[in-house]
């Protein structure tokens, strides 16, 4: 089968690990040039190197997605170096379990800054380059918890529900520029993000899932490829797709 992203330039935040890394590798395999933005430069560089084995151009940029100026500069640098931006995947994220009755304002703000504002800032500074190019794709990684809630996760759920809502607003506003904006709301996926969650939580969660197991990052990446590709993704905008082991059936 023909490679689906030949000639496309993709920026992936959180590309140094887990779901973002799996998406970067799949996009590179499909012919895209990939620029990885991550606060962890070493991990981003390692994924960039592996992505380069598929023959495209790669870049790894040390960026904190909560820093508006740094995100703007990174998007401008990628556009200047690679010749534009066609695809943005916002996969940078953090997660911790904190009961509401113990949650400080700082804990809430920190999660919202990365998991919600970081998604806004990436789109805010990538979209002008897509407008310039006459179109593009924005793929925001939300979570199924944004649809169903979760214990000890008020901050995370607020951010992820925000991402799902923001995706719809962006989709409406950018459609006229031929930019399609969608979210992916994965179920539990084995990545470093959930390593710190309690064994009780993991066991209970697994027992709830109709498919009976957590996913792997490489099982989420093909959903991003669908949304990034043409004609596969051409009719999706404002949608939230759920590779979630059946955890939510909206
Ligand atoms: N793993 C799951 O079960 C699961 C389920 C649903 C949604 N998600 C979402 O998927 C996305 C990817 O998560 P993952 O599981 O691959 O986690 P991960 O920890 O493997 O990867 C997250 C990446 O984001 C980067 N990052 C964190 N804060 C950052 C910041 N301020 N600036 C730049 N980079 C930053 C980290 O360095 C890391 O490389 C997140 O948005 C997460 O909320 C994960």
Q: Which atom of ligand 1 is nearest to the CA of 113?
A: 31
How many domains does the chain fold into? 1
Asked if residue 20 has pLDDT above 90, the reply is yes
Does ligand 1 come within 6 angstroms of the Cβ of 40? yes
- Between the CA of 18 and the centroid of ligand 1 the distance, in Å, is 7
Task: Look at residue 143 and tell me if it is in a domain.
Answer: yes
The reported pLDDT for the residue numbered 200 is: 86
Cβ(60)–Cβ(48) below 8 Å: yes
* Range 201-229 average pLDDT: 96
Q: Across all residues in the chain, what is the average pLDDT?
A: 97
Domain that holds residue 180: 9-241
The yes-or-no answer on residue 156 being catalytic is yes
Does ligand 1 come within 6 angstroms of the Cβ of 192? yes
Q: Which atom of ligand 1 is nearest to the CA of 44?
A: 39
The two tokens of residue 27 are: 């996009």
* Range 191-207 average pLDDT: 89
The reported pLDDT for the residue numbered 85 is: 98
* Range 52-67 average pLDDT: 98
- Between the CA of 48 and the centroid of ligand 1 the distance, in Å, is 17
Confidence of residue 196 (pLDDT cuts 50, 70, 90): confident
Confidence of residue 206 (pLDDT cuts 50, 70, 90): very high
Cβ(48)–Cβ(59) below 8 Å: yes
The reported pLDDT for the residue numbered 1 is: 75
- What's the pTM? 0.98
Cβ(88)–Cβ(126) below 8 Å: yes
Confidence of residue 198 (pLDDT cuts 50, 70, 90): confident
Contacts 24+ apart (CB under 8 A), 19-22: 19/91, 19/141, 19/186, 19/189, 19/191, 19/217, 19/220, 19/221, 20/89, 20/91, 20/92, 20/141, 21/47, 21/217, 22/216, 22/217, 22/218, 22/220, 22/221
Confidence of residue 112 (pLDDT cuts 50, 70, 90): very high
Task: Look at residue 1 and tell me if it is in a domain.
Answer: no
Catalytic residue among 156, 170, 185, 188: 156
Cβ(220)–Cβ(186) below 8 Å: yes
Task: Look at residue 106 and tell me if it is in a domain.
Answer: yes
Q: Which atom of ligand 1 is nearest to the CA of 19?
A: 16
The two tokens of residue 158 are: 């607020």
Does ligand 1 come within 6 angstroms of the Cβ of 19? yes
pLDDT tens digits, one per residue of 144-183: 999 999 999 999 999 999 999 999 999 999 999 999 999 9
Nearest CA to ligand 1 atom 21: 17
Query: Among 11, 12, 13, 14, which residue has the most ligand 1 atoms within 8 Å of its CB, making it the best to mutate?
Result: 14
Task: Look at residue 237 and tell me if it is in a domain.
Answer: yes
Task: Look at residue 246 and tell me if it is in a domain.
Answer: no
pLDDT tens digits, one per residue of 70-99: 999 999 999 999 999 999 999 999 999 999
Task: Look at residue 2 and tell me if it is in a domain.
Answer: no
The reported pLDDT for the residue numbered 221 is: 98
Q: Please choose, from the candidates 208, 207, 118, the residue with its C-alpha nearest in 3D space to the C-alpha of residue 163.
A: 118
pLDDT tens digits, one per residue of 238-249: 999 999 999 999
Which of 22-31, 184-193, 201-210, 212-221 comes out lowest in average pLDDT?
201-210
Instruction: Provide the pairing of β-strand 136-141 with 179-184.
Output: parallel
Q: Which atom of ligand 1 is nearest to the CA of 66?
A: 31
H-type alpha helices, the chain? 18-29, 41-52, 68-82, 105-112, 118-133, 145-148, 154-174, 192-195, 199-208, 221-228
Longest Cα–Cα distance in the chain: 53
CATH of the domain at 141: 3.40.50.720
- Between the CA of 178 and the centroid of ligand 1 the distance, in Å, is 28
Does ligand 1 come within 6 angstroms of the Cβ of 12? no
Task: Look at residue 248 and tell me if it is in a domain.
Answer: no
């Amino acid at each position: 089968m023909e490679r689906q992203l030949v000639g496309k330039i993709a920026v992936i935040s959180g590309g140094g690990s887990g779901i973002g890394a799996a998406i970067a590798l799949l996009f590179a395999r499909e012919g895209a040039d990939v620029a990885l933005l991550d606060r962890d430069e070493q991990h981003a560089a390692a994924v960039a190197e592996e992505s380069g084995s598929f023959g495209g151009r790669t870049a790894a940029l040390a960026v904190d997605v909560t820093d508006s100026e740094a995100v703007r500069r990174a998007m401008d640098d990628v556009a200047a170096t690679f010749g534009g931006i066609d695809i943005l995947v916002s996969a940078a994220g953090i997660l911790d379990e904190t009961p509401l009755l113990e949650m400080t304002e700082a804990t809430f703000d920190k999660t919202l800054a990365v998991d919600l504002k970081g998604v806004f800032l990436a789109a805010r500074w990538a979209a002008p380059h897509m407008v310039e190019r006459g179109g593009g794709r924005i793929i925001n990684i939300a979570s199924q918890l944004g649809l169903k809630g979760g214990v000890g996760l008020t901050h995370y759920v607020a951010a992820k529900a925000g991402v799902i809502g923001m995706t719809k607003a962006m989709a409406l506003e950018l459609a006229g520029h031929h930019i399609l904006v969608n979210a992916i709301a994965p179920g539990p996926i084995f990545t470093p993000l959930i390593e710190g969650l309690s064994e009780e939580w993991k066991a209970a969660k697994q027992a709830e899932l109709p498919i009976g197991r957590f996913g792997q990052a490489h099982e989420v990446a093909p959903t991003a490829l669908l949304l990034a590709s043409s004609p596969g993704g051409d009719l999706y905008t404002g949608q939230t797709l759920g590779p979630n082991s059946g955890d939510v059936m909206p």
